[in-house]
Amino acid sequence: MNPRLSLLLFVMAGLVVAFAPLPDPAIAPQARTFRMDARQFAYSPSDLQVNLGDTVTIQLLSTDVVHGLYVDDYDVSVEADPGQTATLTFTADKPGSFRFHCNVTCGAMHPFMIGKITVGTNNWLFRSIGLAALAIAGVMVSIKPKA
C-alpha cells in the first residue's frame, strides 16, 4: 500500500480513537458523600469514583495540621483545621480523571499531597492507550517493506 495512504489512514484512525464520542451509560446522577481524612501527606481515601452528574460532597477532616483540598479543572477548594470538618460540594459535570491537591502548605511533602477523583470512566486513558496501540501497529506495518 502506498505509504502516504497508509499514513493518512492511521492518522484518521487516530483521530477516531481520540475524539469519537463514546456512548454514555445513562446512570441517574445521585448525591454522594465521602468522609476523607487528611494527614501529612496523604488523603484517605485518596482515589474516588463517582458517576457523571453526581453531586459530590467531600467532608474533609484534617487529623494533624491545617490541610486543604483543591480539585483540578473543577477549580473548587476547601480548607480544614483539625477539629473542624470542612465540607466541599460540587457537581461532577466534567467526565474523566482529575487530581486533587492540598492547597495549604502543610510541610515538606506538601506539593506531593495528591489524590484522584474519576468521574464516570477515565475515557481519556483508554483512548490514549488505544492511540499507543495504533501507533505501534502503524510502525510495525511499516517494518515489512524494510525487512
Partner 1 sequence: MKRPELLTRILITVVIVGVVGAPLYIWSRTPLIHAQMSENGGWSPDVLRAEVGKPLHLKLTSDDVMHGFAVGQTDMEGIDVEPGKVSNVTLNFDKPGIYTFYCTRWCGLNHWRMRGTIEVSGSPSEPEPATVPLYVSLNLDIDAPHDARVIPSSQPSAMRGQGLAIELPVNLSAEYYHAHSPQQAFNDLSNPSLTDSQRWDVVAYLWQSNTDQESLANGKQLYAQNCAACHGENGAGDGVFDDDLKAAGDASAQTMTGAQDMKMQTPANFTDPTRILGASPALLQGKILRGGMGTGMPMWGSIFTEDQIRDLIAYIYSFQFDYEK
Partner 2 sequence: MAKIELTRSPFIKNTLKSRYPQLAVFIVMLVGYIFAILAGLIGTPVGSHNFSIVFVWIAWWAILILVVVPFFGRGWCAMCPIPLPGEWLQRGAVLAPPDKKPKWLNLRVPKMFRNIWLQNISFLLLALFSSVLLTTPSITGIVLAAMLFAAIGLSMIFERRAFCRYLCPVGGFIGLYSQAAPIELRIKDKQVCVTCEGKPCYNGSSAGYGCPWDVFPGGLTKNTYCGLCMECIRTCPHDNIAVNLRLFSADLAKPSTRMDEAFKAFIMLGSAMIYAGVLLGPWGMLKDAAYNVGSNAWFVYVFIFLAIIFGILPGIFTLGIVGIKSSTPLKHRFASLSSALIPLGLMFWVAFSLSFVLTNASYILAALSDPLGLGWNLFGTANTTWQPMLTPILAPAQTLALVGGLIWSARTAQKAANEVKVSSIPMVVYCFVLTSVMLWLLL
Q: Which residues bind partner 2 (CB under 8 A)?
A: 39, 41-44, 46-47, 70, 72-73, 96-97, 99, 101, 103, 105, 108-116, 122, 124-125, 127-129, 131-133, 135-136, 138-140, 142-143, 146-147
> Torsions phi, psi of 85, nearest 5?
-60, 130
With CB under 8 A as the contact rule, which of the stretches 2-10, 27-35, 82-90, 129-137 interacts with partner 1? 82-90
User: What residue has cell string 474516588?
Assistant: 48
Residue 42 lies near partner 1 (rule: CB under 8 A): no
Q: Facing residues of 78 across strands?
A: 69
Q: Name the minimum Å distance from CB 27 to partner 2.
A: 22
Q: Tell me how far CA of residue 80 lies from CA of 7, 59, 71, 74, 101, in angstroms.
A: 53, 9, 15, 19, 13
